[in-house]
Amino acid sequence: MYVAALTLDVLLGDVRSLKAKRAVVRPLVAELRRCYPGAAVAETGHLDLHRRAEIGVAVVSATAANALSVLDQCERLVARHPEIELLSARQRLFNEEE
Q: What is the largest CA-CA distance in the chain?
A: 45
What's the start-to-end Cα distance of the chain, in Å? 11
Structural domains of the chain, ranges and CATH numbers in brackets: 2-95 (3.30.70.1120)
Among 17, 21, 19, 28, CA closest to 57? 28
Q: Give the strands of the sheet with 52-61, arranged side by side.
A: 40-45, 52-61, 2-12, 84-95
Read off the pLDDT of residues 35-94 as tens digits, 9 standing for 90 and up: 999 999 999 999 999 899 999 999 999 999 999 999 999 999 999 999 899 999 999 999
Read off the pLDDT of residues 3-38 as tens digits, 9 standing for 90 and up: 999 999 999 988 999 999 999 999 999 999 999 999
What pTM does this model have? 0.90
Cα torsion at 78, 84, 88, 94 (round to 10°)? -30
